[in-house]
Amino acid sequence: MSCIELPRPSNLLTVNPLCGKPKEGDISYQLLLGTSASSVDSDAFSSYTSQKGSSEPQEVTLNFYTEDGKQQKLVVEENLRVLDLCQLLALKFNVARSHTWTLAEQLTSLGIERSLEDHEDILQVYASWGNQKESENENKFIFKQDFCKYEFFRTPQQFFPLSMLDLGSVPMDCLSESPDLAKFVTLQNILSSGEKSPVVQSLLWCKEPGKDTWKRLFFRIEGTTLCVSSATFPSKDGKQQFWPFRDLMEYEIYTPVETAGNTNPTSYTFCLKNSICPEESPKNLLWFCCESDKHRQCWIVALRLAKYGRKIRENYKEVQSRHMDSPLGSADSRMSTSVDSLLSDYTPMKPRVAMDFTGSQSRIVEDPKEAKAIAAAEGHTWKRRLPCCRAPGGSSQQNVSSSPTARPAMEFGVHAIQPWFYSGMSRDEATHLLTKYGTVDGVFLVRESRRNPGSFVLSYVYKNKIHHCQIFPVDEKDQLCYSLDNGRTKFYDLLQLVEFYQLNLGSLPTKLTHFLVHRPRSNGQVE
């Protein structure tokens, strides 16, 4: 560890469980960072204050960009929130409606960006840019999809490693056989209530503003304060000494636009920028390095929760209410109101029985043949028979896929107008796209198969790997169907198949959670 040993003065601060403020004259904080008291007092982050103009514009015409360089101009009025603006931009850019759309603030001169929170005022963000609004390398607003924005409410186990959490005393009760499950349920309750943010702690590499050297220190989030300690691991007795490092209410969290250079300890970096200091200089950024991308993801989510708290939860609920009419939005709503999805990851599948509700009283169907017949009858009733998906009879999969009339049906079926369907995309293109944007499990798209004409491929992300699953057309009583599991589960169109796997695991290791929205080109095709 590259910091000098701390002295132990009489007024050394012991923080347990909350971080307090060091007493006057306490030099432990300065010694821990290897700086003098004078340099800390003159830190631009804590001493600089700016005065806003007395009159701010009521409306401004701003440029908005997509990641592929497309541009749209829009008149932004005062008090317009990011959430409302994203709906307008979805119409402007002619893209499918999705709750994953967000607006990113890209500070071009610093090479950093952040996704704006849905409640933020666009004109206030624009006003904070100062001189960079008219410069040659101007800052930009990027309209993009962010799958991590609220996903931690639904699947916190993807974002919060247990080794980085301090949940205090966890009530075990009936979950004593699964300590990890008890901790995740406690975490889910913390996120659902919105009263406080989870306590996250770990070792981080830190580079102070204006310095070139990195130091590895132990950091912890307590309330709205980022605290620092001299220890290299958490204390077992819970009496670890921490000092307030930064007040998170004065900072915004950014990530680099491009991959960090070789001079950093790792490539998993993020930084804090003071929101009351208008000067945009790389020397004013406080940089951190994490051991892995998952650790960085955890810290960014925890810092957002510490800064905005209940407001993020309110944003999430409003986004859900606006997208309740979509299948994915409905699924999100159901999953967010309970910990059922969390329990399913850690508990074995419970035995189930077949029930018959056709009579005056319900009864258990004990005969396996009768249960199978009832399930088949209900399946045929539920499935839709769309003319555009029908093909002439054939006894084999090869006959269906090679039929001259089946091919037009596949090209012009209901799937062709879905936002998750990419026509003409290759395997390499799908892998590149999902690698770049698939930040959580279950991000997916559906494309045509080039290797097997007449069939389709479901490409999705699971545990940071890209998987490609063949969707074969099969024949079911003179009806063209689709299946992922060699015909055991059949669907009359791709829309039914996708909706099923959005709500059920089936033969997949993860549910389909988010789709990549294609953007139409000017010639009417999609990209």
Domain boundary, last residue among 95, 115, 145 = 145
- The predicted model gives 41-66 an average pLDDT of 59
Is 139 in the same domain as 155?
A: no
What is the pLDDT at residue 390?
40
Q: Is residue 523 part of a domain?
A: no
Measured CA to CA, the distance from residue 339 to residue 188 in angstroms comes to: 7
CA 373 to each of CA 22, 362, 489, 492: distance values in angstroms, whole numbers, following the listed order: 73, 17, 15, 19
The arithmetic mean of pLDDT across residues 430-442, rounded, is 85
302 vs 399: which has the higher pLDDT: 302
CA proximity to 243, closest of 226, 259, 256 = 226
Higher pLDDT, 448 or 517: 448
Tell me: do 293 and 202 sit in the same domain: yes
- How far apart CA 88 and CA 1 sit, in angstroms, is 51
Q: How far is CA 239 from CA 18, 49, 206, 492, in A?
A: 10, 35, 23, 61
Cβ atoms within 10 A of the Cβ of 344, count? Answer: 13
Does the reported pTM lie above 0.75? Answer: no
Residue 410 in any domain: the answer is no
pLDDT beyond 80 at 23: no
pLDDT in tens, 373-386: 766 665 555 444 33
pLDDT higher for 13 or 322? 322
Highest-confidence segment of 16-20, 40-44, 163-167? 163-167
171 lies in the same domain as 272: yes
Among 70, 91, 67, smallest CA distance to 144 is for 67
> Which of residues 264, 288, 323 is at a domain's end?
323
Three-state secondary structure call for residue 517: coil
- Asked, for residue 431, whether it belongs to a domain, the answer is yes
Residue 522 scores a pLDDT above 80: no
Whether 483 is covered by a domain: the verdict is yes
pLDDT tens digits along 461-503: 988 889 999 998 887 777 788 888 888 888 888 888 998 888 8
Spatial neighbors of 269 by CB under 8 A, at least 6 apart, are: 255, 256, 260, 287, 288, 289, 290, 296
* Domain extent at residue 449: 421-515
- Res 525 pLDDT > 80: no
CA distances in angstroms from 263 to 2, 36, 207, 256, listed in the order given: 16, 25, 12, 14
CATH, residue 127: 3.10.20.90
CA-wise closest residue to 246 among 280, 209, 281: 209
Phi, psi of 272 (to 5 degrees): -110, 135
Residues 168 and 309 in one domain: yes
**228 and 126, same domain (yes or no):** no
Whether 466 and 438 have beta carbons less than 8 Å apart is answered as yes
Asked if residue 330 is part of any domain, the answer here is no
Q: Half-sphere exposure of 465 toward its Cβ, with a 13 Å CA cutoff?
A: 6
* Whether residue 305 sits in one domain with residue 161: yes
Q: Does the structure show a pLDDT above 80 at 111?
A: yes
Tell whether 442 and 511 lie within a shared domain: yes
> Within 10 Å of residue 182's Cβ, how many Cβ atoms?
19
pLDDT at residue 276 above 70? yes
- Is 383 part of any domain? no
CATH of the domain at 199: 2.30.29.30
- H/E/C letters for each residue in 449-467? CCCCCCCEEEEEEECCEEE
The verdict on 135 and 232 lying in the same domain is: no
The count of structural domains within the chain is 3
pLDDT band of residue 246 (cuts 50, 70, 90) is very high
Give the HSE-up count for residue 266: Cα atoms under 13 Å, Cβ half-sphere. Answer: 18
Q: Which residue has the higher pLDDT, 170 or 333?
A: 170
Q: Which residues contact 381 (CB under 8 A, 6 or more apart)?
A: none
Establish if 4 belongs to a structural domain.
Answer: no
Given a contact cutoff of 8 angstroms between Cβ atoms, the answer to whether 132 and 109 are in contact is yes
| Helix H or strand E segment including 314 | helix 310-322
